[in-house]
Structure 1
Amino acid sequence: MRRYKRTLVAVAVTTTVVAGTAGWASGSAQQAVTGPPPGADAWVADRSTGRTLPDPATASPAQVAEFFRELDPKGRDELARRHSLVVGNLDGAPVELRYRANALAIEGTRFARLAESGRQILAFDPRGRGQVAEVYGDLGKADSVSVVVPGSDMDAGTFDRAKDPYGTPAGMAKSLRAATHNRTAVIAWTGYTTPVGVGLDAASGDLAEAGAGRLARFTQGLKAVGAAKPSLFCHSYGSVVCGLAAEDVNARDIVVLGSPGMRAGSARDLKTDARLWAAKDPSDWISKVPNIEFAGLGHGNDPTEPGFGARRVPAEQAEGHTGYFAPGTDSLRAFASIAEGRTP
């Protein structure tokens, strides 16, 4: 009975601690954005090429890639112009074509800054708070690729905010790329609906489950266009997403940092061949989140515990919950080695 009471207390604490990057604030319930982007029906009905276009809801990234390989450049550009929002989000479509399509899709939206010259937007969905994936480096030529998967409070409007830069996907991605001396292409992937502040969303796995499917498909899309097998860097609630996606994701490494848990009892439960790494610095408040999973709340065991089975990443020099990618830290140096396929 005493143990049961302790568990209930732990659940109560879990529901009042943010599982992302915003600190202490009030949470609000979020509705996960899933499925094909707006315009998918018009895309499917288009017969201008004389061929059936791949259905965004059912076609695999490999099938999408095959379709575009058989299409001439003029046909590709015409589809990107007429169906920019679909092509820009179509995993398996040529990377450069997606950049051009997304630049068109972003024009006239509240996210117009994302269409500035030089930006490489690999995915853009304006629904809800907005989702976006931005590439830093040459995705087609890089020998190694990394994907940053963020935690709470990240969306198309905040993923590259100037405040707390190393706590944002864009800041993490830029810092990681710089630490590899620009040898690695890095993607800041804010491709799922994240929790906002404190609330049941942050303590439950519902948004993470929706995000896991999107992350798995995104990485399969990288494989379909010939990009290097990526390393995933999963921060805070993003590590819950990566844990649920682990079995289906195309990844060489899965690195979790500041993790509240991965919805798994051990590394073996993740059923992945990817190398698993975990980092948590001594000052990270995430240590105060109880590592339990009860009645759908909480995210399970701490991945940094020896019994979990992940390789421990040094993080003594990182500070707080968002300092893991800060220049000069032991954690960033280790991340750079992992990103390049080396062992720290």
Structure 2
Amino acid sequence: MVTLPQLRDAALGGLDRAVAEWTELAAALDRLVGRATTGVGGPLRASHWAGADAEAAARGLAERGEQVRVAAQEARYVVAVLDTAVDQLRGAQHDLRAGLDEAAAAGFTVFDDGRLEAADPAARADAAVRARQFELERRLAEPVRKATEADTHCAETLARLYPTGTADWADTAADGACVTALTGLDQATIPRGDPAAAAKWWAGLTTSERAMYLAAYPAVLGALDGLPTEVRDRANRVALAEAKAALLAELATTRAKRDAADRTGDAKLRFRVTELKDRLAAIEALEATLRSGDDMYLMGFSAKGDGRAIVAIGNPDTAAHTAVYVPGTGAELAGIGSHVSRMRSLWLAAQQVKDPGEVSAIAWVGYDAPDTLVHAMVTSYADNAAPDFVRFLRGVGVAQGIDSNNHVTVIGHSYGSVVLGQAAHQSGGLAAKDIIVVGSPGMHVKRAADLHADPKHVWVGAAQGDVVTDIGSGAHAPIVNHGGIKRRVTPDDADFGANRFTSDGAKGHSEYWSTSHSASLDNQAAIVAGNYEDVRLIWGDRP
């Protein structure tokens, strides 16, 4: 129990220093994870070391990395607890000292146990004086009570933040729930839907406040467009680990229920077990993708439904050129590796152009894509995706500082081009300088200029034998009338008004990022890097 003298005389600056030290520890642990990835993992991958020993080394590195990541998150919890303690104790101390000053001014002596006595013996029997005495005693008791309550709750929460010896994200998530309840942070105070407002809010927080919000709401901050990419990456990796831990726990429980169920219940539980295993496999695919390079940033993540992920190669906040790729039909979390692989090929190709500058390539699997070609014949998926994509692009610009770092290229493949078309239409234009579409079934506009963009900065590729432009055109390509002849216009049509670049050697719908038939890839790399004169055109008017 906190006593009146303890609260009155407490030197709370020591707690401030503890908050600062734990904040730095959390940051140092985050840096250590990065050093392990780049300093150890990078050379291991570059060595092409293979076999059982190589796999064991990689697995061990990943496990140690997760342990350090857990330690960083737990350190942020300590920051949140200590910051809450010092805030509540300082408030209680302020109220107590104000009460003590008032008691002294009213002519009372205050004892260490909180009792008051009138300094003038003659006044001690006066009813008004005694009433004032009791009022002040109650006033002094209240901050002492609050300080005791804060001390007890904070001590209990700190006591549960002990190391488990393993990367136990289920335990870490439970710790986080306790810390969030203690701090009283309200996620309603976090601005959403406006990247500029989110960036301003984050910039206005102190270092310890940022640690508190990262500890309490990693999934919310990870999805917050406008925040720095490194912050989103850190938050999303915690959210990813906690989601995986929750799914593993549910899988174990569901399996136990299945084994104990009768035939009727067993069928439903078996279906749920399969569903959980599929979702876990998708998460593990994302984890493997993130381990595949030391320059990966997880800018978005959700385990709901088919799952979503936004993965950047290179930090877009500091890049001179940024490409954002939107995949098409069938895109989901389980296939994130193939989409990131395409952007890895583009990122590497962009390094080869003359004077490329720093480049970032982002795979935006951030929407519910159609599952089949039948589903891809409707526009609702693109309509639903468009606002999220527009907000994401604005967030990229805000985090970059749009006035000085504004060369963003958006790339839509297949149904992804429909998403770009709807996004441009709904927003009055995309926050991007260049638009590339490949294998497009149509964008619901008749001309490139209808995308609210300079047609010189609209580019299209169509490989030999890509039938999607024909199959999907009936749903997504508008009809035009030329000399009494009606036909549908897809972006690869000369009348659309875009620059069509060569894709020599690429065949079908999926070779636009092929390294063995690299014409399409090289042309996209030149566009992304702003080297328009190197783009090989079939027709068009380059900038």
| TM-score normalised per structure 1 | 0.78
Quick one: structure 1 residues 263 and 49, their matched pair in 2 at CA, closer, same or farther if it must change by over 3 Å? same
- Equivalent of 2:320 in 143, 168, 176: 143
- Equivalent of 1:195 in 355, 367, 370: 370
Task: Give aligned pairs, total.
Answer: 287
- Equivalent of 1:70 in 189, 199, 204: 204
Distance in 2 (CA, whole Å) between partners of 1:73 and 1:342 is 40
Q: Please tell me the residue identity of whatever aligns with 1:265.
A: K
Quick one: structure 1 residues 46 and 135, their matched pair in 2 at CA, closer, same or farther if it must change by over 3 Å? farther
Distance in 1 (CA, whole Å) between partners of 2:359 and 2:438 is 20
Which of the two has higher C-alpha Rg?
2
Distance in 2 (CA, whole Å) between partners of 1:65 and 1:81 is 18
Quick one: structure 1 residues 305 and 126, their matched pair in 2 at CA, closer, same or farther if it must change by over 3 Å? same
Quick one: structure 1 residues 279 and 65, their matched pair in 2 at CA, closer, same or farther if it must change by over 3 Å? same
Q: Provide, for residues 153-208 of structure 1, a one-character-per-residue CA deviation record: whole Å limited to 9, x for no partner.
A: 11111121xxxxxxx32121100001012741100110111001231x20011001
Q: Please tell me the residue identity of whatever aligns with 1:198.
A: L
Q: Please tell me the residue identity of whatever aligns with 1:322.
A: S
Indicate the SS of the match to 1:64.
helix
Q: Provide, for residues 279-305 of structure 1, a one-character-per-residue CA deviation record: whole Å limited to 9, x for no partner.
A: 10122122432633xxxx344321011
Distance in 1 (CA, whole Å) between partners of 2:527 and 2:448 is 18
Aligned partners of 1:61 and 1:91 also within 8 Å: yes
Quick one: structure 1 residues 80 and 287, their matched pair in 2 at CA, closer, same or farther if it must change by over 3 Å? same
Aligned partners of 2:236 and 2:298 also within 8 Å: yes
Aligned partners of 1:240 and 1:299 also within 8 Å: no
State whether structure 2 residue 254 is matched by structure 1 residue 120.
Answer: no
Residue 226 of structure 2 corresponds to 92
Distance in 2 (CA, whole Å) between partners of 1:76 and 1:112 is 29
1:272 Cα offset (Å):
2.6
1:51 Cα offset (Å):
10
Distance in 1 (CA, whole Å) between partners of 2:453 and 2:299 is 26
Distance in 1 (CA, whole Å) between partners of 2:490 and 2:512 is 17
Higher helix fraction (1 or 2): 2
Aligned partners of 2:442 and 2:472 also within 8 Å: no
State whether structure 2 residue 461 is matched by structure 1 residue 279.
Answer: yes
Residue 79 of structure 1 corresponds to 213
Residue 439 of structure 2 corresponds to 258
Residue 490 of structure 2 corresponds to 302
Residue 96 of structure 2 corresponds to none
- Please show how residues 1-344 of structure 1 align to structure 2 within 5 Å: 53-56=189-192, 59-107=193-241, 108-109=243-244, 110=280, 111-112=283-284, 114-115=286-287, 118=294, 119-160=296-337, 168-181=338-351, 183-199=358-374, 201-226=375-400, 228-229=405-406, 230-246=408-424, 247-273=428-454, 275-289=457-471, 291-292=473-474, 297-300=475-478, 301-327=489-515, 328-343=517-532, 344=535
Q: Please tell me the residue identity of whatever aligns with 2:417.
A: S
Quick one: structure 1 residues 48 and 242, their matched pair in 2 at CA, closer, same or farther if it must change by over 3 Å? same
Distance in 2 (CA, whole Å) between partners of 1:129 and 1:50 is 29
Quick one: structure 1 residues 205 and 299, their matched pair in 2 at CA, closer, same or farther if it must change by over 3 Å? farther
Quick one: structure 1 residues 51 and 158, their matched pair in 2 at CA, closer, same or farther if it must change by over 3 Å? closer
Q: Provide, for residues 279-336 of structure 1, a one-character-per-residue CA deviation record: whole Å limited to 9, x for no partner.
A: 10122122432633xxxx3443210111111111111221210001111421111000
Residue 7 of structure 1 corresponds to none
Distance in 2 (CA, whole Å) between partners of 1:277 and 1:153 is 24
Distance in 2 (CA, whole Å) between partners of 1:121 and 1:186 is 12
Q: Please tell me the residue identity of whatever aligns with 2:398.
A: A
Q: Provide, for residues 188-246 of structure 1, a one-character-per-residue CA deviation record: whole Å limited to 9, x for no partner.
A: 110111001231x2001100111111110000000111164310111000000001112
Q: Which runs of 5+ in 1 are unaligned?
A: 1-44, 161-167
Question: RCO greater where, 1 or 2, for CA within 8 Å and sep 6 or more?
Answer: 1
Distance in 2 (CA, whole Å) between partners of 1:316 and 1:50 is 55
Q: Please tell me the residue identity of whatever aligns with 1:90.
A: L
Q: Please tell me the residue identity of whatever aligns with 1:181.
A: Q
Quick one: structure 1 residues 289 and 105, their matched pair in 2 at CA, closer, same or farther if it must change by over 3 Å? same
Q: Please tell me the residue identity of whatever aligns with 2:459.
A: W
Distance in 1 (CA, whole Å) between partners of 2:190 and 2:472 is 45
Q: Please tell me the residue identity of whatever aligns with 2:200.
A: E
Distance in 2 (CA, whole Å) between partners of 1:249 and 1:128 is 27
Distance in 2 (CA, whole Å) between partners of 1:46 and 1:79 is 13
1:248 Cα offset (Å):
3.8
Distance in 1 (CA, whole Å) between partners of 2:491 and 2:186 is 51
1:80 Cα offset (Å):
1.6
Distance in 2 (CA, whole Å) between partners of 1:264 and 1:188 is 25
Aligned partners of 1:121 and 1:135 also within 8 Å: yes
Indicate the SS of the match to 1:157.
helix
1:55 Cα offset (Å):
3.4
Q: Provide, for residues 235-282 of structure 1, a one-character-per-residue CA deviation record: whole Å limited to 9, x for no partner.
A: 000000001112342111110000000011111222234711111012
CA-atom RMSD in angstroms: 2.4
